Structure 1
Amino acid sequence: MFNMISYIIFLTVSSYITVDVGRRCFQAGKSYLEYLIHDQEMCLTINRILLGCYYLLNLGYIAVNLAFWDRVSSVEEMIAVTAIRIGNIVLILCVLHYINIFTLYFLRKKLILK
């Protein structure tokens, strides 16, 4: 029973975080990409591709994460395991976000130098 409750909490919170962060990054990323690339149509295409890859990667990680969930036998363990797994999702989102920003920044610098 504790496993089902922790699954539901984990799926609800992590899916909400993934979708909300993706939507916010998509909106804010438009101006950042336009600043870097100066081609509005190309920026929109890149932004959509990044959003699709972002959703696939994160929702896939969430699904795989459920497969390796150990049996939870108490409320305290349920809270601890769920919090750790949600924290891992948030950390992965942060790392992916900064990798994208730095990659686009360095690609732009490389394009400018040519």
Structure 2
Amino acid sequence: MFNIVSYVIFLTVSFYITIDVGRRCFIAGKSYLEYLLHDKGMCLTINRILLGCYYLLNLGYIAVNLAFWDKVGSVEELISVTAVRIGYIALILCVLHYMNIFTLYFLKNKLTLK
């Protein structure tokens, strides 16, 4: 019973975080990409590709996470396991976001040096 409650909490929070962060990064990413690339059509295309890859990667990680879920036997374990799994999702989102920003920045600098 605790596992099912833990799954529901984890899935609800993870989907909300994934969708909300993806939407915010998509909206804010438009102006960042336009600043870097100066081509609105290319920026929109890159932004959509990044959003699609972001959703696929995160939803895949969430699905794999469920496959390796520990058995939860008490309320304390439910809170602990669920919080750790949600924390991993948040950390992965943060790392992916900054990797994208730095990659685009360095690619822009490399293109302007030529």
Partner of residue 106, structure 1: 106
1:4-83 equivalent positions in 2, closer than 5 A: 4-83=4-83
Residue ranges of structure 1 left out of the alignment (5+ in a row):
none
- Aligned counterparts of 1:80 and 1:71: Cα–Cα separation in 2: 12
Letter in 2 for 1:34: E
Distance 1:103 1:54 in 2: 15
The one-character-per-residue Cα deviations of 1:39-62 (angstroms, maximum 9, x if unpaired) are: 000000000000000000001000
TM-score of the two chains, using structure 2 as the length reference:
1.00
- After TM superposition, give the deviation of residue 70 of structure 1 in Å: 1.0
Give the CA deviation at 1:20: 0.2
Q: Give the secondary-structure state (helix, strand or coil) at the position aligned to 1:90.
A: helix
Q: Distance in 1 between matches of 2:37 and 2:51?
A: 17
> After TM superposition, which residue ranges in structure 1, 4 or more long, deviate above 6 angstroms?
none
SS in 2 for 1:72: coil
Identity value in percent: 82
> 2 CA distance for matches of 1:36 and 1:67?
40
Supply the distance in 2 between the matched residues of 1:12 and 1:53 (Cα, whole angstroms).
20
